[in-house]
Amino acid sequence: MSRLREVGDELRLAPREYERCRDELTSLGLIVPTNPAQHGARGEFEGAAGQQDGDTVAVIDPEIAMLRLLHREREQLRVHLDEADRAYSTLETLAGSYLRAGSLTRSDADVEMLSDYRRIQQVLEDITDVIQHGLASMHATSLNREVGERVLSRDRRQIENGVRVRAMYSERVCASPEVQMHLRRRVEAGVEVRITTDVPMPLIIADAQFAVVPVDPAKPAAGAVLARGPALVRSYLALYEHCWHTASPYGDASAPEQGGDGLSEQQRAALSMLASGMKDEKIARGLGVSLRTVSRMLSELMQDMGATSRFEAGVRAYRLGWVD
């Protein structure tokens, strides 16, 4: 036991400084008042700081005080987490009919006009945050560097979550070295990129539930339309799939040139090496592209030819005269 007032006198503490030190030591649990008037059933920590009479205290071992303090902080954190969970559930319920993927039935449809640029960007961020399956986009113009970095960051986050990300670009914007670098970085991140001769309009589709399209394709600054619900989005998705299947996979430098059979030089070379028995790794080295690019290219060619194996794809390519 110790009389705290005597300790304060020995240290020559002014009354206000003494009160501050006593309150801090008590709040940290390093001292506990021993005056019966200052005790409650469990209120020694809470009540001691406000008492002015009696200054006899028991000194608590610092390790014990620290453990008690950690326990108290943990309990407060649990309370805060419970409050956050309740707030999140409430917000999720309120936003469910607006953005939650899968919340719209096949017969539901909704349209919102977006005229403010900041509102459009916020909608795009909101939509991409709730994607579960696939994101498909078409771009008629290039992105500035700041937006491009944001898109890349979003790509990586979505692909890590198992989302299939596809993007189409007009070949006229791919002449820029900066755009080519951006596309290569997207491909390296796992995005499926294709180049087409003409992009009918900018378009973003998420999970076949949401679509963002321009109010007027000829006037991008006129604003955008947010379409919600499969009843509306399926038409935009059909347009996208048509454009996707007529586009060419992005190569390692620029939009590929098409031959008379519709194959790019890169595709023809890949098929030739496949028919000769090369493995994907060797094909990738021969073409100077990533293994992921080769795997995707060959899978798409097999699908186009209706081949069920790579050997069959090589045989069919030879019979069709696509390779020598």
Residue 261 has pLDDT above 70, yes or no: no
CB-based burial, 247-259: b 16+ in 10 Å, e otherwise: bbbbbeebbbeee
Percentage of the residues of the chain whose pLDDT score is greater than 70: 79
Backbone angles phi, psi at 112, to 5 degrees: -130, 130
What distance in Å separates the CA atoms of residue 249 and residue 255, rounded to the nearest whole number? 8
pLDDT tier for residue 91 given thresholds of 50, 70 and 90: low
**260 compared with 12, residue with greater pLDDT:** 12
Q: What is the pLDDT of residue 271?
A: 83
- Spell out the SS3 assignment of the chain: CEEHHHHHHHCCCCHHHHHHHHHHHHHCCCEEECCHHHCCCCCHHHHHCCCCCCCEEEECCHHHHHHHHHHHHHHHHHHHHHHHHHHHHHHHHHHHHHHCCCCCCCCCCEEEEECCHHHHHHHHHHHHHCCCCEEEEEECCCCCHHHHHHHHHHHHHHHHCCCEEEEEEEHHHHHCHHHHHHHHHHHHHCCEEEEECCCCCCEEEECCCEEEEECCCCCHHHCEEEEECHHHHHHHHHHHHHHHHHCEECCCCCCCCECCCCCEHHHHHHHHHHHCCCCHHHHHHHHCCCHHHHHHHHHHHHHHHCCCCHHHHHHHHHHCCCCC
Residue 51 has pLDDT above 50, yes or no: no
Which pTM does this prediction carry? 0.47
Q: What is the pLDDT of residue 108?
A: 63
Q: What is the pLDDT of residue 33?
A: 76
* 96-128 pLDDT tens trace: 545 444 444 445 668 888 877 788 878 877 777
* 122-157 pLDDT tens trace: 887 777 777 888 899 998 777 666 677 888 888 888
* 235-245 pLDDT tens trace: 888 889 888 88
**315 compared with 192, residue with greater pLDDT:** 192
The mean of the pLDDT values for the chain is 76
Residue 77 has pLDDT above 80, yes or no: yes
Q: What is the pLDDT of residue 167?
A: 92
Instruction: Give the lowest-confidence range in 4-18, 87-101, 252-266, 283-297.
Output: 252-266
Q: What is the pLDDT of residue 178?
A: 80
Q: What is the pLDDT of residue 262?
A: 60
Q: What is the pLDDT of residue 188?
A: 87
pLDDT tier for residue 166 given thresholds of 50, 70 and 90: very high
Residue entry with tokens 């989005």: 233
What distance in Å separates the CA atoms of residue 219 and residue 73, rounded to the nearest whole number? 57
Q: What is the pLDDT of residue 45?
A: 37
Instruction: Give the lowest-confidence range in 75-84, 233-242, 301-310.
Output: 301-310
pLDDT tier for residue 42 given thresholds of 50, 70 and 90: very low
**6 compared with 321, residue with greater pLDDT:** 6
Residue 294 has pLDDT above 80, yes or no: yes
**264 compared with 82, residue with greater pLDDT:** 82
Q: What is the pLDDT of residue 2?
A: 55
Residue 229 has pLDDT above 60, yes or no: yes
